[in-house]
Structure 1
Amino acid sequence: MNNNKILKIGIVMDPIQLIKIEKDSSFAILLEVQKRNYQIYYMEMNDLYLKKNQAYAKVRLLKIQKKINNYFEFIQEKNISLNELDVILMRKDPPFNMEFIYATYILEQAEKEGVLIINKPQSLRDCNEKIFSLLFDKVTPDTLVTRNISQIYNFWKINKDIIIKPLDNMGGSSIFRVKENDVNPLVIMEIMTHYETKYCMIQTYLPSIKYGDKRILVINGQAIPWCVARIPKKGETRANIAVGGIAKIQKLDKIDWEIANYVSPILKKKGLIFVGLDIIGDKLTEINITSPTCICEIERKTNISITSILMNNIENQVINRD
């Protein structure tokens, strides 16, 4: 930053002692924060609280290093008003549940007090990672969101090959493919809807998944020119790296750019600064806004520094806000 201000950067994340630093995007971002000599204030969800309509948290000052067995150290623990921070990165992984929503209310109060929150708390609530993509129906697969089993069954009968997934999970968890001649479709539909008490997203199966489920990162409306194509292992429908998908780094193609440019203005307008688009073939399937990943995979194979681009953008926003 040209004003030499030492930023105070907060991060809300899952327990740091459980992460795998070689592929954790939050850790990669924090390395860049520390490289710039900014202060890191570490928080977990249960550290956040409101008192007399002011946002607070128990924070730990954090130092990190790229050593597998000794990668973090807490320097000091204290309770602070969140308005003492310049920026807070909300990087808590799904499930997206009511506890997550309550946390966004606390962060929103900090935002009102002048803190830059990435991503914007209201948009974290408004833009469910599955349903939000349907706003861009020109580039999404045929989709049904329901908890009604007969509607799902009819969708399957018409489309013959479908994907059923929950609205609140990540990493390929609880995703089912139901083929035309599946012998247990109703059982799957009952399990996925919890006997018609839980909404699911149902989409037509996209055969182009065999070429990869692309993760495209977007920072403040600008797509990173390299993406991760996650290719399913043999016999697997899901391409997520968390369930054994193979990561292939490749440049965005013409269709990728068209979809990214189509979606990006809305992302920027909604204060969604760091986003991951999931694209299969020529279809947008999800928009990841809670804790987008794949920074490490792209940075390892290219000469682009996504974390630098992100931090430069954050610095510019802080300067413009001041």
Structure 2
Amino acid sequence: MDILFVADPLAGFTLYKDSTYAMMAEAARRGHGLWACEPEDLAWRGGRVAGRVRDVRLHAQARQGDWCAAGAAAWRDLADFGAVLMRKDPPFDEAYLNATYLLEMAERDGARIFNRPGALRDYNEKLAIARYPQFIVASLVSSRPDEIRAFLAEQGDIVVKPLNAMGGSGIFRLRPGDANLGAILETATGLGRRQVMAQRYIPEIAAGDKRILLIAGVPVPYALARIPAPGETRGNLAAGGTGVAQPLSERDRAIAAALGPALAADGLLLVGLDVIGDWLTEINVTSPTCFREITAQTGCDVAALFVDALERQVAA
């Protein structure tokens, strides 16, 4: 089948860690056709949603900066593809939101979209944890610096983060007496006009922020623990963290078992749960990653598991 990847520019892929590339390579190995476009290439024209797409051919000897060839751009109806994978990284801004509207229109015309556009909107990657209070630490969402200050006084040590970013961007650890507290809260909340999430600080971050991948509701047997660099609070790989693959713990499996079926039923084929210690901190649905690191360190072929699930979904 032909698979369309709606993603960031291909030239920006970092091959050794890019999960979208891993998906493409496995799909191509199985003989599927690869196509790509960016969200801004989607359009509603003639009463249908189409993309200005390019066919993608992977080089046998792929290397950074020279791993594929792309054909000329041409309009093609999204319903003509066997599957459309939405793999655009956050921020979840107005452009991303509009892309989900167009993809949902295409879905009504018969396109098979993964993850489902409506689910991408419904599962804000920070707020979605509120659906599972039994697995989360004390948390607050507010735009008011005074409320965040009160929460900090109550908890003693907190993390504040934006609701629409990724890769550790905009995350602050706050403790009472911080001389920059006022400025940080003004910046984070946009002078009280933008909601942020505050959570009790989890000391187990020192052992890693675990990424647990769910494919069609089933957990990959290994998580990637992203361990913060010395002097850093954030474990995100984009913030200099080191990824260490490890088997799922009993608690990891319990969280995955509780969330997996509901997430899959809502149209989320691929989800990345973030767990620190025993606590769920995020539910990532936009472009979950860590395929390459887990496969390289354990031999568990995550891309093969994903394409297996994709083929089953399309055939169903």
TM-score (norm 2): 0.97
Shift, 1:259, TM fit: 0.7
User: Which of 90, 108, 111 matches 2:104?
Assistant: 108
Where does residue 33 of structure 2 map in the other structure? 39
Where does residue 4 of structure 1 map in the other structure? none
2:143 is aligned with 1:147: yes
User: Which of 296, 301, 313 matches 1:317?
Assistant: 313
Where does residue 17 of structure 1 map in the other structure? 11
Deviations 1:51-101 (A, max 9, x none): 243101100000123222311101232111111111000000000011101
Mapping of residues 158-197 of structure 1, within 5 Å: 158-197=154-193
Where does residue 253 of structure 2 map in the other structure? 257
Where does residue 3 of structure 1 map in the other structure? none
User: Which of 218, 240, 247 matches 1:222?
Assistant: 218
Amino acid at match of 2:45: K
Aligned equivalents of 2:201, 2:150: Cα separation in 1: 15
Aligned equivalents of 2:38, 2:72: Cα separation in 1: 15
User: Which of 42, 56, 74 matches 2:50?
Assistant: 56
Aligned equivalents of 2:155, 2:9: Cα separation in 1: 42
Where does residue 130 of structure 2 map in the other structure? 134
The alignment covers a number of residue pairs equal to: 314
Moved more, 151-160 or 46-55: 46-55
Shift, 1:41, TM fit: 1.3
Aligned equivalents of 1:112, 1:304: Cα separation in 2: 36
The unaligned stretches of length 5 or more in structure 2 are none
The unaligned stretches of length 5 or more in structure 1 are 1-6
Shift, 1:199, TM fit: 0.9
Aligned equivalents of 2:207, 2:313: Cα separation in 1: 37
Query: How big is the alpha-carbon RMSD for the aligned residues of Structure 1 and Structure 2?
Result: 1.0
**3-state SS, counterpart of residue 16 of structure 2:** coil
Aligned equivalents of 2:314, 2:225: Cα separation in 1: 33
Where does residue 283 of structure 1 map in the other structure? 279
Deviations 1:274-300 (A, max 9, x none): 010000011000010000010000010
Aligned equivalents of 2:73, 2:30: Cα separation in 1: 22
Q: Is contact 1:53-1:109 (8 Å) kept?
A: no
Q: Is contact 1:43-1:57 (8 Å) kept?
A: yes
Shift, 1:316, TM fit: 1.1
Moved more, 177-186 or 208-217: 177-186
Amino acid at match of 1:159: Q
**3-state SS, counterpart of residue 72 of structure 2:** strand
2:293 is aligned with 1:297: yes
TM-score (norm 1): 0.96
Where does residue 266 of structure 2 map in the other structure? 270
Shift, 1:43, TM fit: 0.6
**3-state SS, counterpart of residue 76 of structure 1:** coil
Q: Is contact 1:47-1:59 (8 Å) kept?
A: yes
Q: Is contact 2:42-2:102 (8 Å) kept?
A: yes
**3-state SS, counterpart of residue 298 of structure 1:** helix
**3-state SS, counterpart of residue 56 of structure 2:** strand
Aligned equivalents of 1:186, 1:141: Cα separation in 2: 24
Mapping of residues 200-211 of structure 1, within 5 Å: 200-211=196-207
Where does residue 236 of structure 2 map in the other structure? 240
